[in-house]
Amino acid sequence: MNNRTWVRTSNVIGIIATVALIYWVFTFTAIQVFGLRIFKANLTEIFFMSIFGILALMFGALMVNIMFNLTRIAERHPQEDAAVSPGKTGRWLAFAASFPVILALLFAGDHLSTLKKKEMLTAGAQSLVAAYPTQMARLVDYRFEREWVVYTVDTMNLYKRMNWNGNSPEIEIIAADVLDNARVFLGFSPYIRAYEEKQEPHPLKKQNFIRKITSEEHAYLTQVFDEGGQDIRFSAYNGNYELFYPYRENGKTIILYFHERARYGKIGS
């Protein structure tokens, strides 16, 4: 290979690496700005590590270009350098048009991940109801007593250990109650087990179990508990997935609440 070939080859490699870097920055920015969750963990790690490969490729191409371009300057043919490649405008247009396509693919992947997560959480709630009818009958019979609270959190812990392989969502039971003549919604999760053991000699306090909710969640919970609503509520935002699953038996209602924080979206896993 002569010097001109080396320079041209390094230029091509440098251009490819630059384009790859532009695509990488665009993809990373879109994922961060819009909170998209698409890849499996290992693929996402490869995606983040690829930046080092791209930079190394650009650096290597630059070094080769500098080394051989000095010699090539003496052999330059102005006519060749001045020639404009046909179709250059078309290539730039295709390059610009590729960004909306990439963005659309990212949103499509995030949408598929969200649908898969909703399906997984809904299946988890349905399996809990179907597999533990006796336990569910006791859970729906809500009473703000230590016996009910302990039984509830122990049941949730048992279900998580038996049905989720290490990567389990957080599970909580939501019940409606009254405190100081005001409607409140209480949440009971496995995390309160240790708290209750410490507070064993003392009476339970409802204010310690009041759930912090948004105005949209308050409207939904009011509809379920006070108006007999049965709709499932699912939300996804910035890698957080939440499912509210109403369960009603003998005129009594509780809500199974599932929450999962996913650093990565998962497709096909």
Q: How much is the average pLDDT of 14-41? A: 73
Residue 36: pLDDT band (50, 70, 90) is confident
pTM of the model: 0.69
Residues in the chain: 269
CB 225 within 8 A of CB 211: no
Residue 175, Ramachandran bin (φ over 0: left; ψ between -120 and 50: alpha; else beta):
beta
Cα–Cα dist 55/156, whole Å:
49
Half-sphere exposure (Cβ direction) of 30: Cα atoms closer than 13 Å = 19
Measuring CA to CA, which residue among 126, 118, 128 is closest to residue 242?
A: 118
What percent of the chain has a predicted confidence (pLDDT) above 70? 68
Predicted confidence (pLDDT) per residue in 134-192, tens digit:
999 999 999 998 889 888 888 888 887 776 655 678 889 999 999 988 899 999 887 76
Who has greater pLDDT, 261 or 143? Answer: 143
- The CATH number of 115-261 is 3.30.450
Where exactly are the structural domains of the chain?
Answer: 3-83, 115-261
Measuring CA to CA, which residue among 196, 205, 150 is closest to residue 173?
A: 150
Query: Across the chain, what does the average pLDDT equal?
Result: 77
Whether the per-residue pLDDT at 216 is higher than 60: the answer is yes
Cα–Cα dist 249/38, whole Å:
38
Who has greater pLDDT, 82 or 141? Answer: 141
Residue 32: pLDDT band (50, 70, 90) is confident
Whether the per-residue pLDDT at 72 is higher than 70: the answer is no
- Name residue, tokens 């507070």: 199
Residue 49: pLDDT band (50, 70, 90) is low
Q: Say which range, 54-58, 96-100, 195-199, 234-238, has the weakest mean pLDDT.
A: 195-199
| 233-237 vs 182-188, strand pairing mode | unpaired
Residue 267: pLDDT band (50, 70, 90) is very low
Who has greater pLDDT, 238 or 250? Answer: 250
Who has greater pLDDT, 168 or 228? Answer: 228
Q: Give pLDDT, residue 199.
A: 56
114 alpha-carbon distance from chain centroid: 8
Whether the per-residue pLDDT at 85 is higher than 60: the answer is no
Residue 84: pLDDT band (50, 70, 90) is very low
The two structure tokens encoding residue 217: 């969640």
Q: How much is the average pLDDT of 225-236? A: 91
Predicted confidence (pLDDT) per residue in 179-210, tens digit:
988 899 999 887 765 555 555 566 778 888 88
C-alpha distances in Å from residue 251, one per residue of 137, 141, 182, 214, 254? 11, 10, 21, 26, 10
Q: How much is the average pLDDT of 103-121? A: 86
